[in-house]
C-alpha cells in the first residue's frame, strides 16, 4: 500500500461522518413519509434504524400465546450452515444499502437452538459487514452454551463484547423450571439467572455485554408491567423493552383482545414502576404510533434522562448535535481513531462545544451531582438505562396496506393510510437481496414469513433428524476441560462445569 493510499484511508477513517453513512442517511430521510419528518426524528438524521435476519432459523422450542411465528415455523429444521450462509447474504446487502454501520438482530426462532459454533460464526459474519449484532433469545440456555459461543476452540474470547436480548413473560410456555408461569414475579429468578451468566462471563473471561429485557404485553399481564419494571431495574439489564401484542403469526395462539393494550397505557405502567416521570418526546425513532423510547442514567435509584423535551436548552443541544454530528459512528472504533474523529468534528463546529457541555452538566445535576454519581459508581449503582415500547401492527391491516404500497398506491382509507405511514417510517428493516429490497418487520412477519416458511419446510425438512439430535449437541471444550453438553440438568437448572 502506497503512502498516499495510507493517508487517504486514514483521512476517511477519521472523518467524523463516513460518506457512505451520509448517503444512506440522506436516502433514509428522503424516503420517510412527511408525517415522520419531525424535529425530534432520529431516523435519517442520526441512524438508519435497526436491522434483523429472517428465514435463518425459524424453529422455537417454547409455545407462547401469542406467537408471532407462522404455523410452519416449527416444521423447519435448524441448520447451522444455512443460517450462516443466509446471514452472510443478508448482511452484505444491508451493508450496501444502509452504510457501513448499524445495529442488527440475529433473530428468527430461538437462537440457542443453533449449534454454538454456528451461532458464533453468524455473529462474526454480522460484524464482518459492520453490523453490531444482538442475539434474540428466550434465555433458557446454560452458561456452558454461552461459553461455547463466546470462546474459540482454544478457550480464548472471539469477542470483546456480546449483546443479547432475552424475552421473559408469563405468556411463554415450556421454559424449564417454569413450564407454565402464573405471574411475572415467578420469572424473576430466571431473569436474574440469565443476567448473572454475563456477569460471570466478564469475571471469568473479560468479555463485556449489553443486555436487553423484552416482554410481550397483553390484557392479562399489562397490570404487572410496573412490577416487572421495578424488579428488572435492579438487575443488570441495559434496556427494558415492552411490546404490546399484535395479531401476527399463528392465529391458533391468539387468546385475547390485544387491542385493549395501548402504547400510552404501557408507558404509564413503566413510569409507575420506575417511580417517576420518564420523558420521551425529545427524540423519536420512526413513527410515534410504533415506537417510544428514552435513554438516561440510573444513579442509585434515580433516573436522569439525557434529553428532556420541556427544557429548551436540551432541545437546542439536540438540534446542534443532529445538524453537525448526526451519523457519527462511536461503537467498535479504535480509541485513537475515535479520538481524532471527535477532535475533527469539534474543530469543524467549535460553537457546539459549549451547548453540549452544558447538556452534560444538566444531566449530572438531574442525577444528583457528581459526588453522588461517583459514590453510586463505586457501589455498582450507576449505569445507562434505555426504556422502549414497540407497538406492532395487526396482520389484517398490514397485508392490504403493503399490497397497495407495492403498487405505488396511497390509500384514502384512514386505517390503511395510517398503516402505510407507519410502514414507511419503520425503524426495523429486513434484507431481501434476492429481489433487491428492504422490508419493514411488520411486513416480514405478516406477509412474507408464512410464504417463506413453506419454502423452508421443503429445503430443511425435519424428517431424518432424530429427537436426540435436536435435543443436545456434544461439544468439546478447550484442552484440559471435560466435554460437556450444551443443555441443562434434568431438574431444569443450568449445568455447571
Query: How much is the pTM?
Result: 0.90
Mention every residue, 6+ apart, whose C-beta is less than 8 A from residue 298: 233, 304, 381, 382, 383, 384, 385
What is the per-residue pLDDT across 362-393, written as a single tens digit (0 to 9) for each?
999 999 999 999 999 999 899 999 999 999 99
Q: Identify the pLDDT of residue 481.
A: 29
CB atoms within 10 A of CB 446: 27
By DSSP bridging, strand 291-299 and strand 382-390 are: antiparallel
What is the helix (H) or strand (E) element at residue 209, kind and residue range? strand 208-217
Q: Identify the pLDDT of residue 497.
A: 28
CB atoms within 10 A of CB 400: 15
Q: Identify the pLDDT of residue 68.
A: 80
Q: How far is residue 228's CA from residue 206's CA, in Å, rounded to a whole number? A: 29
Mention every residue, 6+ apart, whose C-beta is less than 8 A from residue 169: 184, 187, 215, 216, 217, 221
Q: In this prediction, what percent of the chain has a pLDDT beyond 70?
A: 92
pLDDT < 50: residue spans in the chain = 466-497
Greatest Cα pair distance, the chain, in angstroms, is 68
What is the helix (H) or strand (E) element at residue 104, kind and residue range? strand 102-106
Mention every residue, 6+ apart, whose C-beta is less than 8 A from residue 456: 55, 58, 72, 76
Nearest to 308 by CA among 371, 229, 390, 365: 365
Question: Around 422, how many Cα atoms within 13 Å sit in the side-chain half-sphere?
Answer: 21
Q: How far is residue 88's CA from residue 91's CA, in Å, rounded to a whole number? A: 5
Judged on CB neighbours under 10 Å (0-12, 13-18, 19+), 225 is: buried
Q: Identify the pLDDT of residue 450.
A: 92
- Mean of the per-residue pLDDT values of the chain: 90
User: Hey, where are the domains in the chain?
Assistant: 3-465
Q: How far is residue 469's CA from residue 477's CA, in Å, rounded to a whole number? A: 19
Helix axes 116-128, 143-150, angle to 10 degrees: 40
Q: Identify the pLDDT of residue 65.
A: 83
Q: Identify the pLDDT of residue 435.
A: 94
Q: Identify the pLDDT of residue 253.
A: 64
Q: Please list the residues that pair with 284 across neighbouring strands.
A: 41
Q: Identify the pLDDT of residue 3.
A: 87
Report residue 210: phi and psi, to 5°: -125, 125
Amino acid at each position: 500500500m502506497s503512502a498516499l493510499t495510507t493517508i487517504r484511508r486514514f483521512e476517511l477513517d477519521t472523518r467524523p461522518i463516513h460518506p457512505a453513512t451520509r448517503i444512506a442517511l440522506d436516502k433514509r430521510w428522503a424516503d420517510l413519509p412527511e408525517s415522520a419528518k419531525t424535529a425530534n426524528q432520529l431516523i435519517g438524521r442520526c441512524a438508519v434504524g435497526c436491522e434483523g435476519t429472517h428465514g435463518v432459523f425459524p424453529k422455537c422450542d417454547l409455545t407462547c400465546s401469542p406467537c408471532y411465528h407462522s404455523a410452519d415455523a416449527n416444521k423447519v429444521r435448524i441448520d447451522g450452515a444455512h443460517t450462516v450462509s443466509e446471514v452472510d447474504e443478508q448482511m452484505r446487502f444491508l451493508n450496501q444499502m444502509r452504510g457501513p454501520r448499524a445495529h442488527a438482530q440475529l433473530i428468527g426462532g430461538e437462537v440457542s437452538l443453533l449449534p454454538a459454533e454456528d451461532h458464533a460464526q453468524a455473529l462474526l459474519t454480522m460484524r464482518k459487514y459492520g453490523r453490531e449484532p444482538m442475539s434474540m433469545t428466550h434465555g433458557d440456555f446454560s452458561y456452558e452454551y454461552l461459553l461455547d459461543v463466546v470462546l474459540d476452540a482454544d478457550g480464548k474470547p472471539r469477542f470483546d463484547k456480546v449483546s443479547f436480548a432475552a424475552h421473559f413473560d408469563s405468556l411463554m410456555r415450556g421454559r424449564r423450571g417454569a413450564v407454565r408461569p402464573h405471574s411475572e414475579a415467578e420469572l424473576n429468578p430466571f431473569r436474574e439467572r440469565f443476567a448473572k451468566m454475563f456477569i460471570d462471563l466478564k469475571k471469568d473471561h473479560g468479555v463485556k455485554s449489553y443486555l436487553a429485557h423484552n416482554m410481550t404485553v397483553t390484557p392479562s399481564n399489562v397490570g404487572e408491567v410496573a412490577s416487572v419494571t421495578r424488579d428488572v431495574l435492579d438487575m443488570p439489564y441495559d434496556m427494558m423493552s415492552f411490546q404490546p401484542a399484535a395479531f401476527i403469526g399463528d392465529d391458533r395462539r391468539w387468546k385475547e383482545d390485544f387491542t385493549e393494550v395501548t402504547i400510552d397505557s404501557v408507558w404509564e405502567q413503566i413510569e409507575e414502576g420506575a417511580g417517576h416521570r420518564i420523558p420521551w418526546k425529545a427524540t423519536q425513532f420512526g413513527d410515534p404510533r410504533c415506537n417510544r423510547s428514552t435513554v438516561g442514567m440510573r444513579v442509585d435509584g434515580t433516573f436522569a434522562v439525557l434529553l428532556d423535551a420541556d427544557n429548551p436548552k436540551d432541545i437546542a443541544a439536540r438540534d446542534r448535535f443532529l445538524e453537525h454530528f448526526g451519523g457519527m459512528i462511536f461503537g467498535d472504533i479504535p480509541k485513537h481513531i475515535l479520538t481524532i474523529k471527535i477532535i475533527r468534528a469539534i474543530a469543524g463546529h467549535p460553537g457546539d462545544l459549549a451547548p453540549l457541555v452544558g447538556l452534560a452538566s444538566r444531566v449530572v445535576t438531574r442525577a444528583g451531582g457528581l459526588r453522588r454519581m461517583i459514590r453510586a459508581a463505586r457501589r455498582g449503582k450507576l449505569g445507562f438505562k434505555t426504556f422502549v415500547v414497540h407497538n406492532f401492527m395487526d396482520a389484517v391491516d398490514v397485508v392490504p396496506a403493503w399490497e397497495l404500497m407495492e403498487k405505488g398506491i396511497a390509500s384514502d382509507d384512514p386505517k390503511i393510510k395510517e398503516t402505510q405511514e407507519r410502514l414507511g417510517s419503520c425503524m426495523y428493516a429486513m434484507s431481501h437481496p434476492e429481489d433487491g429490497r428492504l422490508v419493514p418487520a411488520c411486513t416480514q412477519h405478516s406477509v412474507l414469513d408464512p410464504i417463506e416458511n413453506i419454502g423452508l419446510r421443503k429445503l430443511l425438512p425435519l424428517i431424518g433428524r432424530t429427537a436426540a439430535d435436536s435435543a443436545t449437541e456434544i461439544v468439546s471444550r478447550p484442552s484440559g476441560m471435560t466435554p460437556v453438553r450444551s443443555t441443562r440438568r434434568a431438574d431444569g437448572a443450568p449445568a455447571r462445569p
